[in-house]
């Protein structure tokens, strides 16, 4: 049984402990900067290959209680170093901790190096080379008062460097193992198994996207750089065992890739996306991850994505004066989530947790996470209406106004363009007809395209100019709510241009299956009436206070007929309701 230590970034020890336990480690204990554990050589190798959270994996070769500084060198010289390296191999030593007057890491490392050299001088009358850049063996000493722990670094570099970002100059990206930890805490592995999608709307260099793809495809994070790990040069290396584990990891990835969920990213910055695209290419997941330039303010889903996880780390305004701008971005992100991701899980990581409240969503959980020297928080949300702190866009009468403000670009989608064309086709002959017969209020659209289930009524009023009244036929439960909402917003986004009517004069209402007298109940109380002339009669309509305006456009012919027939006659209108027919008859 080997005694091992895996280091990790601050705050990830508990997650690393859980990860190592799933790999089969025994006696696993979380420490402030890593995890101690025990296991076979196979287990230590698996940790190097499979840990998404560790930075380095060490095996302990000596634990000693020292009486004085001298013993630091002599106890090391007493170890059988030829079990670990040959004379012709080079080595490097690092040191941490302090004790017995040794409080300088360089001095501690020197003492250990002397011990190794003394061993070889005694055995071979020669000394191995020290190479701090490219050694064959890396030895690490840790001193806690007089307790020495000496270990061999099986990896030799920090495991968070998976390889897909090699050579890239990335400004402050999320470290790969921190991104992996955030994904694990957000439940991504379970969501991926159920076929859910992943989306990062501020993906920057694409760390979440690639780490998520690696998890979903069951790819070992150490696989791409496995031949660079120092364990390959260790004298006790078991290459048969290692090759078996590498082959197994390759096979698992092949299987994993057959069942990949869709992964998407977007970002405002072209430059970040160039970097992301290069990293995605390097990682080999270019078929599974797609990215797009888009701000969260313009944000919208650009396909039929299965419900899943939205995860992001938005900017947090490091510089003075940026905070106001950043608050606006969080609000835009919150609106985007509420509008397009109903039913999804969301996770937002920020190094300025106060900004979380600007999302306008109630978090179900939050977790502390360090990001380098910064203390951050991961907020997790169920994006469902119950947890909205405020509606993203005010529904009701002024929805068209909200859509125009929040989604200035929505009118450019294929769907919106098709809908606009349909309207234009309807309007042209109707305008001619209305002019000829002096009709000032008429229906221009009635769910002609079933996916845009709306009715749109046009009113030309005496005092208020032109108005549109839009009624949405509430979608049946079988229709995806998010998609239905997107279509509604697409439709509302084109109305001002097609009709040349300001959004303040486009009124929106939802027409649900009516129960009892709900149809007649008040929606609002503006008491704002406008006059429409029909058949030479002035009729008053109200656009906002009730579901109906008071003038039933589909009864226009009946009104004209009754008015004609009741000439010079008395008329008793039972059930007269808004009395438009009576007025015309009179
Ligand atoms: C902290 S970085 C994300 C880093 C990323 N997780 C990575 O690992 O590279 C924040 C990102 O938000 C993007 N961003 C800022 N404002 C935005 C907006 N309004 N809409 C979309 N992206 C925005 C920036 O371009 C930047 O890439």
58: phi then psi, degrees, rounded to nearest 5: -115, 150
Between the alpha carbon of residue 11 and those of residues 55, 313, 360, 529, 549, the distances in Å are 13, 17, 27, 63, 60
What is the per-residue burial (b if ≥16 Cβ within 10 Å, else e) of 439-449?
A: bbbbbbbeeee
Q: 447 vs 54, 192, 357, 452, 473, CA distance in Å?
A: 57, 37, 39, 6, 8
176-217+260-387 to CATH, choices 3.30.1490.70, 3.40.50.150, 3.40.50.10420, 3.40.50.300 = 3.40.50.150
Exposure string for 19-28, b = 16+ CB within 10 A, e = fewer = bbeebebeeb
pLDDT of res. 80: 98
CA-204 nearest atom, ligand 1: 27
CATH fold for the domain made of 399-524: Transcription Regulator spoIIAA (3.30.750)
In percent, how much of the chain has pLDDT > 70? 94
Cα(312) to centroid(ligand 1), Å = 8
Q: How confident is the model at residue 11 (pLDDT cuts 50, 70, 90)?
A: confident
Break the chain into its structural domains and give their ranges: 2-153, 176-217+260-387, 399-524
Q: Which atom of ligand 1 is nearest to the CA of 174?
A: 8
CA distance 534 to 584: 8
Query: CB of 174 closer than 6 A to ligand 1?
Result: yes
> Which CATH number applies to 2-153: 3.30.2130.30, 3.40.630.30, 3.40.50.20, 1.20.1260.10?
3.30.2130.30
Determine the Cα angle at 138 with ends 161 and 47, to 5°: 50
**For the chain, how big is the Rg over CA atoms in Å?**
35
Question: Residue 91 above 70 pLDDT?
Answer: yes
Q: Across residues 18-46, what is the average pLDDT?
A: 97
Phi then psi for residue 582, to 5 deg, are -60, -45
Evaluate if residue 554 carries a pLDDT over 90: no
pLDDT digits (tens, 9 = 90+) for 181-225: 999 999 999 999 999 999 999 999 999 999 999 999 999 999 999
Sort 557 into a burial class: Cβ within 10 Å, 0-12 / 13-18 / 19+. exposed
- What confidence tier does 578 reach under pLDDT thresholds 50, 70, 90? confident
| Nearest-10 crossing angle of helices 239-257, 41-50 | 40
Ligand 1 centroid–CA 296 distance in Å is 10
Q: Ligand 1 pocket, 180 CB below 6 A?
A: no
Ligand 1 proximity of 549 Cβ (cutoff 6 Å)? no
SS3 track for 116-148: HHHHHHHHHCCCCCECCCCCCEEEEEEEECCEE
Helix (H) / strand (E) element for 77: namely helix 69-77
Q: What is the whole-number distance in angstroms between the Cα of residue 214 and the centre of ligand 1?
A: 21
In this structure, are residues 58 and 153 in contact, taking their beta carbons and an 8 Å threshold? yes
- Residue 340 CB–ligand 1 contact under 6 Å: no
pLDDT digits over 507-551, tens only?
Answer: 998 765 544 544 445 555 667 889 998 888 899 999 888 778 888
pLDDT over 90 (residue 441): yes
**CA–CA gap between residue 176 and residue 162 (Å, rounded):** 8
Please tell me the residue having the least CA distance from ligand 1 atom 23. Answer: 268
pLDDT for residue 452: 92
Structure tokens at 206: 């694409």
C-alpha of residue 71 to centroid of ligand 1, in Å: 53
Q: Bigger pLDDT: 339 or 425?
A: 425
Dihedral sign, CA of 158, 163, 169, 172?
negative
Q: What is the pLDDT of residues 70-87, one digit of tens each?
A: 999 999 999 999 999 999
């Amino acid at each position: 049984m080997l005694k091992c230590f895996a280091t990790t970034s601050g705050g990830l020890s508990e997650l690393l402990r859980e990860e190592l336990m799933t790999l089969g480690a025994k006696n696993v204990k979380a420490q402030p900067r890593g995890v101690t554990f025990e296991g076979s050589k196979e287990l230590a190798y698996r940790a190097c290959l499979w840990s998404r959270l560790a930075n380095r994996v060490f095996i302990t070769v000596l634990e000693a209680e020292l009486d004085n500084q001298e013993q630091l060198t002599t106890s090391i010289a007493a170890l059988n170093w030829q079990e670990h390296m040959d004379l012709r191999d080079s080595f490097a030593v690092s040191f941490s901790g302090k004790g017995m007057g040794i409080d300088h890491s360089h001095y501690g490392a020197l003492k250990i190096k002397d011990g190794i050299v003394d061993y070889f001088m005694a055995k071979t009358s020669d000394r191995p080379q020290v190479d701090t850049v490219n050694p064959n063996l890396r030895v690490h000493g840790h001193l806690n008062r007089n307790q020495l722990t000496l270990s061999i670094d099986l990896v030799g570099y920090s495991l968070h460097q998976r390889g897909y970002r090699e050579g890239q100059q990335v400004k402050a990206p999320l470290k790969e193992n921190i991104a992996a930890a955030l994904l694990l805490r957000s439940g991504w592995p379970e969501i991926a198994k159920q076929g859910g999608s992943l989306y990062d709307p501020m993906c920057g260099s694409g760390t979440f996207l690639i780490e998520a793809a690696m998890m979903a495809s069951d790819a070992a994070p150490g696989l791409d750089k496995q031949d660079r790990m120092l364990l390959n040069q260790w004298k006790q290396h078991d290459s048969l065992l290692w090759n078996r584990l590498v082959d197994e990891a390759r096979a698992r990835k092949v299987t994993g890739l057959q069942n990949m969920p869709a992964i998407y990213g977007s970002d405002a910055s072209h430059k970040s996306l160039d970097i992301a695209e290069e990293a995605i290419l390097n990682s080999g997941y270019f078929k599974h991850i797609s990215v797009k330039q888009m701000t969260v303010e313009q944000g919208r889903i650009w396909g039929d994505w299965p419900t899943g996880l939205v995860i992001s780390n938005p900017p947090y305004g490091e510089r003075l004066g940026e905070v106001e701008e950043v608050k606006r971005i969080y609000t835009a992100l919150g609106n985007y989530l509420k509008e397009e991701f109903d039913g999804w899980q969301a996770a937002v990581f920020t190094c300025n947790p106060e900004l979380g409240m600007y999302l306008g969503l109630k978090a179900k959980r939050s977790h502390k996470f360090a990001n380098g020297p910064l203390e951050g928080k991961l907020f997790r949300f169920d994006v469902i209406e119950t947890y909205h702190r405020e509606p993203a866009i005010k529904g009701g009468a002024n929805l068209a106004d909200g859509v125009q403000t929040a989604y200035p670009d929505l009118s450019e989608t294929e769907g919106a363009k098709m809908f606009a064309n349909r309207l234009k086709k309807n309007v042209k002959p109707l305008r001619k007809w209305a002019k000829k017969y002096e009709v000032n209020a008429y229906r221009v659209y009635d769910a002609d395209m079933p996916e845009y289930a709306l009715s749109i009524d046009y009113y030309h009023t005496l005092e208020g100019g032109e108005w549109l009244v839009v009624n949405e036929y509430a979608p049946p439960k079988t229709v995806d709510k998010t998609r239905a909402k997107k279509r509604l917003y697409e439709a509302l986004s084109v109305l001002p241009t097609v009709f040349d009517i300001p959004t303040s004069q486009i009124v929106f209402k939802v027409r649900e299956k009516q129960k009892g007298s709900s149809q007649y109940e008040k929606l609002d109380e503006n008491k704002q009436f406008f006059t429409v002339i029909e058949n030479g009669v002035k009729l008053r309509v109200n656009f906002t206070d009730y579901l109906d305006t008071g003038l039933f456009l589909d009864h226009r012919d009946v009104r004209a007929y009754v008015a004609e027939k009741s000439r010079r006659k008395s008329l008793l209108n039972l059930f007269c309701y808004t009395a438009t027919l009576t007025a015309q008859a009179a």
